[in-house]
Amino acid sequence: MSPACGMVTDGGFSIIEINPMEGRMRYLVVVSVFFFMLVMGVFATAQADGRGVYVKCIGCHGVDGSKHALNVSPPIKGQSAGELERKLFGYLDGSFGGDKKIVMTNVLKKLSEEDIREVSKYVSEF
Ligand code: HEC
């Protein structure tokens, strides 16, 4: 009986004793969680970029890049990041493309160079 009472009392005391600390602890926790989320957010953005950009391509190329876009494009699945980048930048500078290249040029004009590199990397992993 008494050890139990002792524990309750100890518990009560320690809670009261920790209380003044808790404010600072909570502050530290909140600050560390904030920084953790900030860092994770930066990572998530960097990693999700390619995927985020690819959302714009799914309609024509399919979720996994295996569709023949508008019945003309070869599947983009299975191509290396280097190959994809060369073709995509080629659409923009006119050094690559078939009869329907205008379709791709219009899509790519709205993307940054960084987007194109990220999406090439993402597609090469299909
Ligand atoms: C409106 C439909 C459409 C959308 C959206 C689209 N594409 Fe295309 N894509 C095409 C067509 C059509 C071609 C073939 C164009 C040609 O004649 O060169 C093509 C060709 C390509 C090629 C060259 C394939 C090869 O090996 O010749 C790549 C790479 C490519 N697209 C990637 C993308 C990426 C990445 C996106 C998204 C940012 C995208 N496409 C969005 C229709 C589309």
Rounded-to-integer distance, Cα 80 and Cα 94, Å: 20
The ligand 1 atom at the shortest distance from the C-alpha of residue 59 is 5
CATH number assigned to the domain comprising residue 23: 1.10.760.10
Domain that holds residue 73: 2-124
pLDDT digits (tens, 9 = 90+) for 15-40: 555 565 567 777 888 888 888 888 87
The pLDDT score that the predictor gives to residue 14 is: 52
DSSP structure string for 78-93: T--HHHHHHHHHHHHH
Of the residues 55, 58, 61, 114, which should be mutated to test ligand 1's pocket, given the most ligand atoms within 8 Å of the CB?
Answer: 61
Q: pTM (2 decimals)?
A: 0.73
Mean pLDDT of the chain: 84
Report how many domains make up the chain: 1
Q: What number is the average pLDDT over the span 48-73?
A: 93
Give the containing element (helix H, strand E) for 36.
helix 2-54
Q: What number is the average pLDDT over the span 43-62?
A: 83
Q: Is the CB of 73 under 6 A from ligand 1?
A: yes
Q: Is the CB of 74 under 6 A from ligand 1?
A: yes
The pLDDT score that the predictor gives to residue 117 is: 96
- 40-124-118-111 Cα dihedral, nearest 10 degrees: -140
Q: Is the CB of 92 under 6 A from ligand 1?
A: no
